[in-house]
Structure 1
Amino acid sequence: MTAERPGVLDGAIAPAENSRLFGHGEAEVFLAQSYKSGKGHHAVLIEGPEGIGKATLAFRFAKHVLCHPEPTEAPDRLGDPDPGSIVSRQLASGASHNLLHLTRPVDEKSGRVKGAITVDEVRRAGKFFGQTSGTGNWRIVIIDPADDLNRNAANAILKILEEPPRRSLFLVLTHAPGKLLPTIRSRCLPLRLKPLDAGAMRQALAHLGFDMGGGNADQILAAAGGSVAEALKLINYGGLEIAAAFDDVIAGQGPAVRKQMHKLADILSAKDSETIFDFFASLLQSRVMQLAREAALAGDIGRAERFAHLSSSFAERLAISEGYNLDRKQTVLSLLDDLKDRV
């Protein structure tokens, strides 16, 4: 992630600045036509895996609404926004009085992105709605993602959703809707986005300046699972090498494996390794759940349950490690040891 744009991967375009979206044409049409009907829901829950364009869609729709504040006069399609327009420039710079982007804040002392969206951030929404709009335009809040709301923040958002201000619109992003408060989900209109297919992935990566005609393009696309963010981690953060090293550790035996484990743990615990550590954590969890599914399909329900419990344990331990800033190398070694004991 760049120092200038915390939370934005190297090689990516910040969602507020991105003028193109690939692979979600049906969702764009649904949002545009729902808005034009004048009967659009005040809160839309945009669901889907991380890195497939949820935030870009949210900003794209927000620009559409702010450029066409009267629903019945709005186009029935979301066109590519003009980067030079006043609305686009204001949103890109974070200077819009009509849109609030709630996401994990940056810790002023460490310069790192905090682990959660706190209630203090949500209180900004109260002040935001309390201000008088000089244009009478819509007020839009993008929660990116709602998965990062801590308990107090989630309850504070819920109170606003229960009594939404006039001409307000909430675009609530989530990678895992099942983790949200049921009461938040019930007050939102769900809009499910699917992972991008290979064609859309190639278009999105070409838009970012990557040549997907290279020798490892197919390998990257297969490993990315329809997520542009995962592809960027594979390309720009050494994700392919990390995945290969992880597989070698799990499959290996003997003293040499211990050296491989320490080498992998050193890479993942190095300075400014947050992105690749998160990649490893996701990789670890996905492989454990893959083992659980394989065991279940083979009829070994006991083994499947053990891997499912292991996945829950790993998620808890990773959260504790992050929350208490524990030694990452020891965390990685401990997790790898536990996984190897059960493979």
Structure 2
Amino acid sequence: MSAAAERSGNTPIEPDRLDPFSTPREVDRVFGHDAAAAEFESALRSGRMHHAWLLVGPEGVGKATLAYRFARTVLAHREAAEDAQDVPGEHPLFRKVAGLSHPNLLLIRRSWIEKTKRYSQWISVDEVRRLRAFLGNTAGEGTWRVVIVDRADELNQNAANALLKALEEPPPRTLFLLISNAEGRLPVTIRSRTRVLRVPGLDDEPLGQAVRAALDRDGVRADAKDLALALALSQGSERRALELVSSKGIDLYDQILETVAALPDLDGGALHKQAERLSGVNDTERLELYLALLLGLMERLIRFTATGEGATEAERKLAKRFVSKNNLAQWAEAWEALSEAKSEAFALNLDRSLLVLNAWFRLQHLTEEHPV
């Protein structure tokens, strides 16, 4: 059993948990976000703390880990805190936050539906209504109450409206930490009542530190070659790198690379089987990883052609075969179309196998009609 599993045996199920790794609230160190941490802590020390912060950035870069660190700092009353590890892992407060048992902390997220044995697609208004009782309780004198919404872009309309009311008239010393991968999906009314904190993708050094720390912490072994490739493909996302080394993600990437290398030829039978394997009810995370890897590959081919930077050695060979200054715009359009199709398919629960097939048919058409 992994270290994360041992620690989390009695805690609620995490909707976005990457098994077998620790959840963000169980992680006691943040890597590479010193500027964001300094901005938050400066506001806290100033005594003019904004009551709501919107942490925005790509998936898996450490937004939630940062939010829980902020929560611990505030709940510990460390208003002069400057160190990223101001509440160490062995501290009782750390353990309470990790177990979601601190009375002054509320986590709002998608709920587990026992009947279907699945998580709800959106954060419901009933989940947000838990705020009434939480904010109605009297906190101890001088203490804070912290509400974490993970992820805010998963609020349905009624839930967003309910949250907005709480943001408009919060009790004193209440802190809202909203986490979002897609700021544009949030209503303007909510965004306008928050202070936006940008959390960018990790640079190479802190990315490597974060990934190796996670592997060590949770007792997961990774082949050195696979780890190096995972870091190169992760685009600054710790989660993406961990997915690649822990869930046969490297094999998935190799399959994508081989399919691209064969273009404009496509093995129809193999492609349909692949699409079917990725489209099951329980295959959502693997499909998301597959599409993220395909989009990431396309992005690196485009960037390498435009700037001469980025991409692995194998990808550079593909870029020279398929992408040029003459068809760069068409590749960019294909990337944008696939990104939009992916978002639409997941939001509207459309046919996912068709999403995969259409992505490859578009690339086939692109390499046929716009050769280098």
Aligned amino acid, residue 232 of structure 1: L
Q: Secondary structure at the match of 2:224?
A: coil
How far apart, CA to CA, are the structure 2 residues paired with 1:131 and 1:18?
28
What's the counterpart of residue 201 of structure 1?
207
C-alpha spacing 1:292/1:319, structure 2 compared with 1 (3 Å): farther
Which one of the candidate residues 120, 125, 140 is aligned to 2:126? Answer: 120
Which residue in 2 is equivalent to 1:39? Answer: 48
Q: How does 1:1-343 map onto structure 2 within 5 Å? A: 5-6=13-14, 7-68=16-77, 71=79, 74-134=80-140, 137-208=143-214, 209=216, 214-252=224-262, 257-269=267-279, 272-286=282-296, 298=326, 304-305=332-333, 308-321=336-349, 328-343=352-367
TM-score by length of 1: 0.85
Shift of residue 331 of structure 1? 4.8
Asked if 2 retains the 8 angstrom alpha-carbon contact of 1:144 and 1:173, the reply is: yes
Q: CA deviation at 1:288?
A: 6.2
The one-letter amino acid paired with 1:249 is T
SS at match of 2:225: coil
Query: Gaps (5+ residues) in structure 2?
Result: 307-322, 368-372
Aligned residue-pair number: 336
CA positional deviation for 1:260 = 2.4
CA contact (8 A) 2:302 2:331 kept: yes
1:133 and 1:316, CA in 2 relative to 1: closer, same or farther beyond 3 A? same
**Partner SS state of residue 267, structure 2:** helix
CA distance in 1, matches of 2:336, 2:281: 32
Matched AA of 1:96: H
Give how far 1:262 is off: 2.9
Amino acid in structure 2 at the alignment position of 1:75: A
Shift of 1:126: 2.1
Distance 2:210 2:241 in 1: 10
Matches of 1:291 and 1:320, distance apart in 2:
29
Q: Distance in 1 between matches of 2:108 and 2:347?
A: 21
RMSD: 3.0
Question: Offset at 1:256?
Answer: 6.5
User: What is the identity percentage for the equivalent residue pairs of Structure 1 and Structure 2?
Assistant: 36
Looking at structure 2, the residues matched to 275 and 217 of structure 1 have their Cα atoms a distance apart, in angstroms, of 20
Report the residue type matching 1:156 in the other structure: A
State the TM-score, normalizing by the size of structure 2. Answer: 0.79
Distance 1:290 1:181, change over 3 A: farther
Question: In structure 2, what residue type is equivalent to 1:317?
Answer: A
Consecutive unaligned residues of structure 1, counting only runs of 5 or more, are: none
Shift of 1:92: 1.4
**Cα distance in 2 for residues equivalent to 1:152 and 1:212:** 44
